Amino acid sequence: MKKYITSKKDIMGGAPCIVGTRIPIEVILYRLKEGYTLKDLHKMYPWVEPKKFEGALEELANKLGRSRNDQTFSQTQTFA
């Protein structure tokens, strides 16, 4: 799977960003929470391909899902 999220100490202080940009994932999530659409985000950042926004959100969802599954597995092991 292609990576759409990167984190480097020298870019935005290490905050996770969309690859090839200085747009923190936190900003994208905040905008979506406020009601902006992916189409709106592309209008705000026209130099970013729409698939990068979609890919970053999918990658984040996958990471969160794995994290939740790992945590559930650990709790199951602890209480078994």
Summarised one tens digit per residue, pLDDT across range 43-55 is 999 999 999 999 9
Q: Count of domains in the chain? A: 1
Question: Are 4 and 59 a contacting pair, CB within 8 Å?
Answer: yes
Name the band, by pLDDT with cuts 50, 70 and 90, for residue 59: very high
pLDDT at res. 69: 63
Quote the domain boundaries for residue 58: 5-79
Q: Which two tokens mark 10?
A: 């020298």
Report pLDDT digits (tens) over 64-78.
887 666 655 445 444
SS3 26: helix
CA distances from 19 to 3, 73, 76 (A): 8, 31, 35
Question: Are 21 and 7 a contacting pair, CB within 8 Å?
Answer: no
Q: Where are the alpha helices (DSSP H) in 9-49?
A: 25-33, 38-44
High-pLDDT (> 70) share of the chain, % = 81
- Count CB atoms within 10 A of the CB of residue 57: 18
